[in-house]
């Protein structure tokens, strides 16, 4: 688990990056690109209001080039679902050395995969509904695969979002149709026990649950229309459950964050039955982010929320701390010494390194390339080759 020595309290706004160039990444290749643009525009507007030089960046296959050519100090990932919430963009930003908002590569990928999430939830004793998975090759034997699982079930793509390709099935033929639809969105489909219950979402900021909201959809379930249509759902905040149960839901959501190692601002979706049971459906590492979204309904201003998100932007896998560890190992003779002088020259054209981009309250911009360049290569010949390539690309590179 990563630790941050200067961890602020959950709702503390620091404004570390005010005045800096913030790129809000939005759009992307997945089916939730339109929703992402709503989030992205709303976040960019809010940040400008708070004094950031925020600009939106449409994400496409040239994202790496776009970011190299016009390198931001911080990237806000306002992408939902495939190709944005799933660790892929996070990985690119790690390599480019651009601090980014939200969870790291691993947690993003785990949270996006509802099957992997469930496996981890079970390890952490977080209640989740019984399920099995279906891949397209199994469709011909679906009835056999389903076996004695029973009905009704709820079918969803393992890596889906916004309820796209999801729905209830009461019979084998409905199951067949639902699975075929879900397979349009992912190669793995999750068939879950269907439960009736209150739809409750918990917002978690910096590991602490800030509130639980209850959603009353006007439709059969909280589908795409109920989520984004005008007046298609009624919201109750705080959720209408007994106080002790309410506290239990908050703790459950915090545990779900721990299970997946999620950081930043997340939303945990749950179904809470009239009896004793509550089930975690999923954890969203990049929840909807407009003033009308659910977390801003939990008693925190949208502007503060946006700023908290940017305050926490950082690198994880290739963070200065982790690359700095390589320097220490080098000092102990475990790795060859790095050629500081040479490495410091290969930052030409780049606006700054990860180290220079706001880790800690001062957001010092004097850091330069040291931590980013900590890797080097064992032999001087290879070092020289790496050096040449880095200089040509005019961007900080990181070692594998
Ligand atoms: N097992 C289930 N039983 C009943 N309804 C479900 C079940 N799983 C999901 N749903 C409904 O579908 C919605 C979307 O499911 P969820 O797992 O949160 O996926 P996503 O929001 O990523 O599409 C839920 O908010 C709920 O209304
Ligand atoms: Mg959901």
Q: Over 80: is that where the pLDDT of 284 sits?
A: yes
CATH number of the domain located at residue range(s) 198-310 in this protein: 3.30.470.20
Task: Determine whether 162 is an active site residue.
Answer: yes
User: Nearest-CA neighbor of 67 among 350, 260, 358?
Assistant: 350
User: Nearest-CA neighbor of 309 among 64, 81, 96, 8?
Assistant: 8
- Side-chain-side CA neighbours of residue 273 (13 Å): 11
Rounded to the nearest 5 degrees, what angle is found at the Cα of 232, between the Cα atoms of 265 and 35?
45
| Per-residue model confidence (pLDDT) at position 282 | 98
Task: Determine whether 269 is an active site residue.
Answer: yes
In three-state secondary structure terms, 233 is strand
List the shell of residues around ion ligand 2, using CB closer than 5 Å: 269
Q: Over 60: is that where the pLDDT of 114 sits?
A: yes
pTM of the shown model = 0.82
d(Cα 175, Cα 189) in Å, to the nearest integer? 11
Measured from the Cα of 281, ligand 1's closest atom is 17
Domain boundaries, the chain: 21-112, 130-193, 198-310, 320-393
Could you give the dihedral angle defined by the CA atoms of residues 81, 91, 191 and 239, in that order, rounded to the nearest 10 degrees? -60
Cα 283 to ligand 2 centroid, rounded to whole Å: 8
Pocket test for ligand 1, best of 132, 163, 219, 239 (most atoms within 8 A of CB): 163
- 290 pLDDT tier (thresholds 50, 70, 90): very high
User: Nearest-CA neighbor of 286 among 43, 98, 92?
Assistant: 43
Residues with CB under 6 A from ligand 1: 129, 154, 156, 160-163, 166, 192-195, 199, 221-222, 269, 271, 281-282
| Per-residue model confidence (pLDDT) at position 336 | 45
Q: Which CATH number fits domain 130-193: 3.30.1490.20, 1.10.287.810, 3.40.50.1460, 1.10.150.670?
A: 3.30.1490.20
- 142 pLDDT tier (thresholds 50, 70, 90): very high
**Residue of minimum CA distance from atom 26 in ligand 1:** 222
Would you say 204 and 284 are in contact if contact means Cβ atoms under 8 Å apart? no
Task: Determine whether 288 is an active site residue.
Answer: yes
pLDDT average, residue stretch 224-248: 96
Name the burial class of residue 147, with classes exposed (0-12), middle (13-18) and buried (19+) by CB atoms within 10 angstroms of its CB: exposed
- What mean pLDDT, rounded, does the chain reach? 85
- 6 pLDDT tier (thresholds 50, 70, 90): low
CATH architecture, range 21-112: 3-Layer(aba) Sandwich (3.40)
Q: Do domains 130-193 and 198-310 have the same CATH topology?
A: no
- 328 pLDDT tier (thresholds 50, 70, 90): low
d(Cα 104, Cα 111) in Å, to the nearest integer? 11
């Amino acid at each position: 688990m990563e630790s941050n020595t200067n961890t602020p309290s959950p709702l503390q706004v620091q404004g570390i990056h005010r005045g800096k160039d913030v790129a809000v990444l939005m759009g992307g290749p997945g089916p939730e690109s339109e929703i992402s643009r709503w989030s992205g525009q709303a976040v960019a507007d809010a940040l400008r209001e708070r004094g950031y030089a925020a600009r939106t960046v449409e994400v496409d296959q040239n994202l790496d080039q776009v970011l190299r050519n016009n390198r931001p100090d911080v990237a806000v990932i306002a992408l939902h679902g495939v190709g944005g919430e799933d660790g892929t963009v996070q990985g690119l930003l790690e390599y480019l050395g651009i601090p980014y908002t939200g969870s790291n590569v691993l947690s993003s990928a785990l949270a996006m995969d509802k099957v992997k999430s469930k496996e981890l939830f079970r390890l952490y004793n977080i209640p989740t509904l019984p399920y099995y998975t279906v891949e397209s090759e199994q469709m011909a034997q679906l009835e056999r695969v389903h076996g004695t699982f029973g009905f009704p079930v709820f079918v969803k793509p393992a890596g889906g979002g916004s309820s796209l390709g999801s729905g209830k099935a009461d019979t084998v033929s409905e199951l067949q149709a639902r699975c075929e639809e879900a397979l349009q969105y992912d190669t793995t489909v999750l068939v879950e026990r269907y439960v009736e219950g209150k739809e409750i979402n918990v917002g978690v900021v910096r590991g602490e649950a800030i509130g639980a909201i209850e959603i009353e959809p006007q439709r059969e379930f909280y589908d795409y229309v109920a989520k984004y249509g005008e007046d298609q759902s009624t919201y109750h905040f705080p959720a209408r459950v007994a106080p002790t149960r309410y506290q239990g839901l908050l703790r459950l959501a915090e545990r779900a964050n721990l299970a997946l190692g999620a950081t930043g601002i997340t939303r945990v979706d749950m179904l809470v039955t009239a009896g004793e049971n509550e089930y975690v459906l999923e954890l969203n590492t990049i929840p909807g982010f407009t003033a009308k979204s659910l977390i801003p309904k939990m008693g925190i201003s949208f502007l503060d929320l946006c700023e908290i998100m940017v305050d926490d932007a950082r690198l994880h896998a290739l963070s200065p701390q982790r690359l700095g560890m390589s320097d220490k190992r080098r000092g102990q003779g475990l790795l060859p010494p790095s050629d500081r002088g040479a490495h410091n020259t290969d930052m030409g054209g780049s606006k700054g390194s990860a180290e220079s981009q706001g880790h800690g309250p001062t957001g010092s911009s004097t850091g330069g390339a040291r931590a980013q360049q900590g890797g080097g290569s064992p032999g001087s010949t290879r070092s020289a080759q790496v050096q040449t390539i880095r200089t040509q690309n005019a961007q900080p590179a990181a070692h594998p």
